[in-house]
Amino acid sequence: MIVSLFATTSIKLTIVLMIIAVLLPYVCTILCKALGGFRAKDNQSPREFLAKTTGAAARLNYAQLNSFESLPIFLASVIIALYTFVPVEIINMLATGFVLFRLCYIYSYAANLSLFRSVSWFCSLSCCLMLLILSYRIGI
């Protein structure tokens, strides 16, 4: 059932998912600043402001940092999968999974749901690892 949703997808979806993944850390930053009471004068030293945030704003800052950390493995695994001719339908399914799990991760981090956050993190990493495994198995 789920596989059939991706049966006719193209590389355009892959590119859109990569763009969404790149923008997720910035969404976290915007939400962090909004919840933390960011003002124009705080823009003189935004990292200092982010370091002083507490509660959900601080957790969104941590989610932002982790999102930047997970981005290289995601982008690399997608590019390697494309280069090694993994079917684009499979790439799109796993890339969609990555983005959805990262959204769950960000939400669960902000809501302080630690178990759900850890599971979401593991599942998003698993999508990247599966792309790399498929690249190795299917690859040229």
* CATH code at position 48: 1.20.120.550
Give the span between the Cα atoms of 117 and 111, in whole angstroms. 9
Which amino acid, 106? I
DSSP string, 103-124: HHHHHHHHTT-HHHHHHHHHHH
Q: What pTM value is reported for the model?
A: 0.92
- Residue 4 above 70 pLDDT? no
Check residue 46 and give its pLDDT: 87
Report the chain's C-alpha Rg in angstroms.
Answer: 17
**What is the span of the domain harbouring residue 91?**
2-138
Number of domains in the chain: 1
Rounded mean pLDDT of the chain?
A: 93
* Geometric angle at alpha carbon 59, from 118 and 126, rounded to 5°: 25
